[in-house]
Amino acid sequence: MSRELLTGNAAAAWGARLADVDYVPAFPITPQTEIIETLARWYEGGEAPGRLVMLESEHSMVTAAAAAAATGVRVFSATSSQGLLYAMEMIYAVPGWRAPFVLVNVSRALATPITLEPDHSDVLAARDSGFLQIHCANCQEVLDSILIAYRLAEHARVRLPAIVNLDGFYLSFTREPVKIPAAAEARAFLPPFAPGEVEFRASKPVSRAVAALGSSPYSYFRYQTHLAALEALGAYEEVARDFERRFGRWHPAVECYRSEDAEVAFLMIGAFSTKARDAVDRLREKGVAAGLVRPRLLRPFPQAALRSALLGRRAVAVVDQNLSMGSGGVLAGELASALYGCRGAPMIARFVGGLGGRDITAEEFEAMATEARAAAETGEAPAPRLLYTAAELREVRKLQAIALAGPREAGGRS
């Protein structure tokens, strides 16, 4: 074990290296590209025994990844944003193959307009695909979660592909101290891939991923994927406990920070949740019983853990760094469905923020806590709020003035 400064991308590459992956189909996209460049350098220099192949698109990349996994090798790949969406047909198709592999997604906001900055709309578009999802808050978690994700994905009762998600920029390009486990320790935790029946070989002909035109087999196969994903809840606990035993780091399905006795809790995923921790401490200093509840595991959805963390709290401020057009934040809806009808369910205050990499300030966390508590006081759910200030709108107006000035100067056709 060593402790080194690594970016989130480097931590992801280390995770793949320590997982001893055989095969990496790849395609570049900012802010993910460093991951595949790092692996390519290691493989070409003989530092690690893997094989990286450049595909011509993410759609092909995910196809090749699943096909290789279905042939019995351990596969890793990485993408981001538009790339994940370009692959979406296969993201939804391959979980049903029951061939496990790990895909890292470096979250980046979606077009339109195009941007390089992060939010979680990309990975949440894959929410219902059958991929398991683990969301990371720091660079150490990125490395650790990849090893955990392989154990989980390859678990005999699960057998599904998994996405490990990290925020672009705030993790991908940010260096932090990361403990890198020794290769032997990693191998003891994650033994070589045992493909079982999942293989193509001459002596065992098989027709795979075939059509099922009747609704009975169709419903059955789709539901099996769902049941396997649910099974990953128990399997995750088992795997995370083993990880803690070996490496001393506990990565629960749902992280609860000072939430046991909290009056108001933040609920969010990803890198900004460390800012929420900070806010919790400051609120506590001011005498407000605040806490943080952070699902690391988003699929399967840890409903029971969320209930046990949040029932009895007075209010929860959900911070959604994503936007479901015409509905609002995705996590708020997910949480509401988990808590609905339960005795002691908290008031839910919905906030959308951090879109396109927008910062969320300490003051905003405090203000969100205040609004959530006030809502609990009145018993009336507040209208969903976008974290957006008057100064930001003034900035946009200035930009609009420039963008719209052109035709007026060119001849006053307006």
Partner 1 sequence: MSEALQPRPIRSLKDFPSEHLLAGGTPMCAGCGGLQVLHEVNDVLGANTVFVNAAGCMTLLASYPYTPFRGSWLYTSMASAPAGAQGVRDALDILIARKRLAPEEDLRAVVLTGDGSAYGMGLSATSAAIERGLDFLYLCYDNEGYGNTGQQASGATPHGARTATSTRGHGGAKKDLFAIWAAHRPAYAATVIGSEPLDLAKKVQKAAALKGPRLILALAPCPPGWDFDARDTVEIGRLAVKTGLWPLREYENGRIAHTRVPHPRVPVEEYLARQGRFRHLFEPRRDEEAIAAIQAEVDAYWRAIG
Partner 2 sequence: MFRVRFHGRGGQGAKTASQILSSALFLEGFEVQDAPRYGAERRGAAMFAYVRAARAPIQERGVIARPDLVVAIDDTLATMPAAAVLQGVAQDTVVLIQSAEPAEAWRPRLNAPCELLVLAPPPGAAAQAEAPFGGVRCAGAAARLLGVVGRASLERALEAELAGLGERLIEQNRAHALAGFDALAPHAGRVRGDAPRAAEAPPDWIAVPLDDAAIAAPDIHATGTSAASPTGLWRVLRPVIDYEHCKRCVWVCGTYCPDSAIRAGEDGRPNIDYDHCKGCMVCVTVCPPHAIHAVPEREAA
Contact residues for partner 1, defined by CB under 8 A: 22-23, 25, 51, 53-57, 59-61, 63-73, 75, 89-90, 93, 200-203, 205-213, 217
The piece of 4-12, 81-89, 191-199, 282-290 that touches partner 2 (CB under 8 A) is 191-199
Can you tell me which of 210, 325, 390, 402 binds partner 2, judged by CB under 8 A?
Answer: 210
Planar angle of CA 240, 242, 245, nearest 5 degrees = 110
Nearer to partner 1, 25 or 83 (CB): 25
Q: What is the DSSP letter of 413?
A: -
Which phi and psi angles does 373 have, rounded to 5°? -65, -40
Nearer to partner 2, 207 or 414 (CB): 207
* 19, 185 Cβ separation under 8 angstroms: no
Spell out the residues 6+ positions from residue 200 whose beta carbon is closer than 8 angstroms to its own: 70, 71, 72, 206, 208
Closest C-alpha to 24, from 40, 9, 46: 40
Residues 96-125 that bind partner 2 (CB under 8 A): 96-98
The alpha-helical segments, DSSP class H, found in 32-160 are 33-44, 58-71, 81-86, 88-93, 121-124, 139-154
Closest C-alpha to 66, from 50, 87, 48: 87
Can you tell me which of 117, 231, 237, 263 binds partner 2, judged by CB under 8 A?
Answer: 231
How many whole angstroms separate alpha carbon 240 and alpha carbon 251?
6
How many whole angstroms separate alpha carbon 208 and alpha carbon 283?
55
Planar angle of CA 393, 395, 401, nearest 5 degrees = 105
Residue 157 contacts which entry, partner 1, partner 2, none (Cβ below 5-8 A, type-dependent): partner 2
Q: Is 211 in the site for partner 2 (CB under 8 A)?
A: yes
Minimum distance of partner 1 from residue 192's CB (angstroms): 9
Strand ranges for 80-139 from DSSP E: 102-107, 132-135
Minimum distance of partner 2 from residue 408's CB (angstroms): 53
Can you tell me which of 212, 342, 399, 405 binds partner 2, judged by CB under 8 A?
Answer: 212
How would you classify the pairing of strands 297-299 and 132-135?
antiparallel
Minimum distance of partner 2 from residue 341's CB (angstroms): 21
Residue 197 contacts which entry, partner 1, partner 2, none (Cβ below 5-8 A, type-dependent): partner 2
Can you tell me which of 191, 192, 196, 234 binds partner 2, judged by CB under 8 A?
Answer: 196
* 370, 402 Cβ separation under 8 angstroms: no
Minimum distance of partner 1 from residue 260's CB (angstroms): 47
Nearer to partner 1, 202 or 410 (CB): 202
Nearer to partner 2, 70 or 332 (CB): 70
Q: Is 228 in the site for partner 2 (CB under 8 A)?
A: yes
Nearer to partner 2, 162 or 355 (CB): 162
Using CB under 8 A as the binding criterion, the count of chain residues that bind partner 2 stands at 30
How many whole angstroms separate alpha carbon 200 and alpha carbon 350?
48
Nearer to partner 1, 66 or 178 (CB): 66
Residue 55 contacts which entry, partner 1, partner 2, none (Cβ below 5-8 A, type-dependent): partner 1
Minimum distance of partner 2 from residue 300's CB (angstroms): 13
CA–CA distances in Å: residue 56 to residues 59, 86, 132, 234, 247: 8, 12, 25, 38, 38
Spell out the residues 6+ positions from residue 374 whose beta carbon is closer than 8 angstroms to its own: 382
Nearer to partner 1, 125 or 268 (CB): 125
Nearer to partner 2, 156 or 390 (CB): 156
How many whole angstroms separate alpha carbon 332 and alpha carbon 337?
9
Which phi and psi angles does 22 have, rounded to 5°? -85, -35
How many whole angstroms separate alpha carbon 268 and alpha carbon 282?
18
Can you tell me which of 209, 304, 342, 404 binds partner 2, judged by CB under 8 A?
Answer: 209
Residues 299-328 that bind partner 2 (CB under 8 A): none
Residue 200 contacts which entry, partner 1, partner 2, none (Cβ below 5-8 A, type-dependent): partner 1
Residues 145-174 that bind partner 2 (CB under 8 A): 156-159
Q: Which residues lie near partner 2 (CB under 8 A)?
A: 96-98, 156-159, 196-198, 204-213, 217, 220-221, 223-225, 227-228, 230-231
